[in-house]
């Protein structure tokens, strides 16, 4: 049986040419207008200069990209690992998990450290946002968001508030109070409003402004107190999955990565896209600035992590192995920038030597995807959140009065027996 | 509220955005890769000694050390 659909056509004077014709009911910026089909065509072509079509724009885009590659290649005289050849290798590392934070009922999607180096905020799929004391593993605060999939959470620089958001398309700020009995949800403040899910949020250097990225392809800077949009950043052609602010010494820029395989660097004041990098072969899940602010690393679904230098304007290192086939969901640098910690969808965390491009450690222990990896502000430990609903705080294992021989022996024991995370 | 939703943009708009952006990028000033890599190396070398995850810290000073138990009877 065919359904017969009747299209109701309105007939009347066109808003533009005033002739009586069949009208097309269209909406421009949420305003209904009635134009005849001829005027709609003319209007669509107005935006184009003479002779421009999608085809010409695409060819122009290709030529520009080729020229860009040419300019970048001129300065590409050496690889990072070649420069690093004369530097001493790190040797094998042993990482041990020292704290396991259990309490989420569902996948942990995001986490952040507080500047006091001991508190952690984490958010999960079931809508819970929990603030932990990582030294004691106690839960200090817990809030239930009205939406599920809280994909973004961030601690305020002062330590007095947390921001979170996800499928509700908003970013909400909760001030943390010392009074345990106080209902945190009552004090919630909605700050950001996007037209699609919130993928990432971050406070700027103060509690007063928040930077957000969203599935609607934009990033935006908001004033927390008034909820006003201060600046918006357009340039991605698909969902933006992650953003990271430059370390404060280097000024007002941030980097974002998205499903269009691009990583863009933005100027916060002007809203201008300053630089753009497109060498990944799949979605970029995470971007992180290098501690000096001159470079940034990305983790992607193409199972590689890459390092891009901002002054050379190109990719300078790629961290991958043939045996790693699962996407990297999250990356972070150690304090000096020598190590890159990357969490993967194959439940492991790989630790890479940034300079040499080699892997120095693998951390097992999680029973599901690792969704978030962050090094603590003083660099003593790193925390990983996973879909197995736990968070683990791990440190570099060193013996007191240690010798290299013992380190090697223990590493061999780990390798041959396959025991993953045992206690001694 | 941010002004655009990327799903609402036409292919034409996206192509235009891309071309304008590329025109800006082609004119950027760049430094040689060797120089940039040297600077990254130097930065790391200078910071590596204070990096607890690279050098390791003794258990006593580690705030995340094992919570041991000593019972005095």
pLDDT of residue A424: 36
Q: Is B71 exposed, middle or buried (0-12, 13-18, 19+ CB in 10 A)?
A: exposed
With a cut of 90, say whether residue A106 has pLDDT above it: yes
Contact A54 B15 (CB under 8 A): yes
Statement: residue A268 has pLDDT above 80:
yes
Q: How far is A102 from chain B (nearest CA, A)?
A: 16
Within 359-388 of A, beta carbons closer than 8 Å to B belong to: 375, 378-382
**Do B63 and A236 count as a contact with CB atoms less than 8 A apart?**
no
Q: CA-to-CA distance for A321 and A313, rounded, in angstroms?
A: 24
Tokens of A100: 């396991």
Which domains can be identified in chain A, with CATH numbers? 1-46 (no CATH), 94-396 (2.130.10.10)
Q: Given pLDDT bands bounded at 50, 70 and 90, which one contains residue A153? A: very high
Q: What angle do CA A249, A252, A254 make, to 5 degrees?
A: 105
Residue of chain A whose Cα is closest to the Cα of B20: A61
Q: How many CB atoms lie within 10 A of CB A89?
A: 12
List CB contacts (< 8 A) between B57 and chain A: 380, 396, 398
* Pairing verdict, β A349-353 and A339-344: antiparallel
Contact (CB<8Å) B17/A234: yes
A99 has a chain B CB within 8 A of its CB: yes
CB A381 within 8 A of CB A118: no
Give the chain B residue whose CA is nearest to the CA of A400: B58
Whether the predicted interface score ipTM is above 0.95: no
A320 Cα to chain B: minimum distance (Å): 19
Q: Taking CB atoms and an 8 Å cut-off, how many pairs form between chains A and B? A: 215
Give me the pLDDT at residue B28, please: 82
Taking the C-alpha atoms of residue A202 and residue A244, their distance in angstroms, rounded to an integer, is: 7
| DSSP label of B56 | -
**What is the mean pLDDT of the segment spanning A309-315?**
90
pLDDT at A44: 67
Asked if A87 lies within 8 A of B50 by C-beta distance, the reply is no
For the segment A359-369, what is each residue's pLDDT rounded down to a tens digit?
998 999 999 99
Q: Whose structure tokens read 């309105």? A: A10
In this predicted structure, the answer to whether residue B72 has a pLDDT above a threshold of 60 is no
In a mutational test of the B interface, the residue from A43, A64, A118 whose CB has the highest number of chain B CBs within 10 Å is: A64
More confident residue, A365 or A48: A365
Q: Min CA distance, A350 vs chain B (Å)? A: 14
- Residues of chain A with C-beta less than 8 angstroms from the C-beta of B51: 334-336, 338-339, 379
Chain B nearest C-alpha distance from A90 (Å): 8
Question: CB distance from A400 to chain B under 8 Å?
Answer: yes
* A68 to B57: CB separation less than 8 angstroms, yes or no: no
Q: How far is CA A56 from the centre of its chain?
A: 34
Task: Sort residue A164 into left (φ over 0), alpha (ψ -120 to 50) or beta.
Answer: beta
pLDDT in tens, B49-71: 888 888 877 777 778 877 665 54
Cβ distance A338 to B23 less than 8 Å, yes or no, reads no
> Does residue A155 carry a pLDDT above 60?
yes
How far is A387 from B30, CA to CA, in rounded Å? 41
- Give the predicted TM-score (pTM) of the model: 0.81
Who among B30, B47, B63 is closest to A311 (CB)? B30
Nearest by CB to A380, from B2, B25, B64: name it: B64
Q: How far apart are CA A395 and CA A379, in angstroms?
A: 9
**Over the stretch A112-132, which tens digit does the pLDDT of each residue have?**
999 999 999 999 999 999 999
CB within 8 Å of chain B, chain A residues 267-296: 272-273, 275-276, 290-292, 294-295
């Amino acid at each position: 049986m065919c359904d017969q659909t009747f299209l109701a056509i309105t007939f009347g004077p066109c808003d533009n040419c005033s002739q009586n014709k069949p009208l097309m009911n269209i909406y421009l910026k949420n305003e209904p207008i009635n134009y005849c089909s001829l005027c709609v065509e003319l209007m669509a072509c107005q935006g184009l200069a003479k002779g421009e079509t999608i085809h010409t724009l695409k060819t122009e885009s290709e030529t520009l990209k080729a020229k860009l590659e040419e300019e970048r290649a001129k300065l590409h005289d050496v690889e990072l690992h070649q420069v690093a050849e004369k530097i001493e290798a790190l040797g094998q590392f042993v990482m041990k998990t020292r704290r396991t934070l259990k309490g989420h009922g569902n996948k942990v999607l995001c986490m952040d450290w507080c500047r006091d180096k001991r508190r952690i905020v984490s958010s999960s799929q079931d809508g819970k946002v929990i603030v932990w004391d990582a030294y004691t593993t106690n839960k200090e605060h817990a809030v239930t968001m009205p939406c599920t999939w809280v994909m973004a959470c961030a601690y305020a620089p002062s330590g007095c508030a947390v921001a979170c958001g996800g499928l509700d398309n908003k970013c909400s700020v909760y001030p943390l109070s010392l009074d345990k009995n106080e209902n945190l949800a009552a004090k919630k403040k909605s700050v950001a409003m996007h037209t699609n899910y919130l993928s990432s949020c971050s406070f700027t250097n103060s509690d007063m402004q928040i930077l957000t990225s969203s599935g609607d392809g934009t990033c935006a800077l908001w004033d927390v107190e008034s909820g006003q949009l201060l600046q918006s950043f357009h340039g991605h052609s698909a969902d933006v999955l992650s953003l990271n602010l430059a370390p404060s010494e280097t000024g007002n820029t941030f980097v974002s990565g998205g499903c269009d395989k691009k990583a863009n660097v933005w100027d916060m004041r002007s809203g201008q896209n300053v630089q753009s990098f497109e060498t990944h072969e799949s979605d970029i899940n995470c971007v992180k600035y290098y501690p000096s602010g001159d470079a940034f690393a990305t983790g992607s679904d193409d199972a590689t992590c890459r390092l891009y230098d901002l002054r050379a304007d190109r990719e300078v290192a790629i961290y991958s192995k043939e045996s790693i086939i699962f996407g990297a969901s999250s990356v972070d640098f150690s304090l000096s920038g020598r190590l890159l910690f990357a969490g993967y969808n194959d439940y492991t965390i790989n630790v890479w030597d940034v300079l040499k491009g080699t892997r120095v450690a693998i951390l097992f222990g999680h029973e599901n995807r690792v969704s978030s990896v962050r090094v603590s502000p003083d660099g003593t430990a790193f925390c990983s959140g996973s879909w197995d609903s736990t968070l683990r705080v791990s440190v570099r294992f060193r013996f007191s009065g240690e010798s290299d021989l013992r380190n090697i022996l223990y590493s061999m024991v780990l390798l041959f027996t396959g025991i993953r995370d045992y206690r001694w | 509220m941010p002004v655009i939703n990327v799903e609402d943009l036409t292919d034409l708009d996206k192509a235009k955005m891309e071309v304008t952006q590329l025109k800006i990028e082609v004119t950027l000033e760049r430094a040689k890769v060797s120089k940039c890599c040297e600077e990254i190396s130097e930065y790391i070398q200078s910071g590596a000694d204070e990096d607890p995850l690279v050098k390791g810290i003794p258990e006593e000073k580690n705030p995340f050390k094992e919570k041991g138990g000593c019972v005095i009877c």
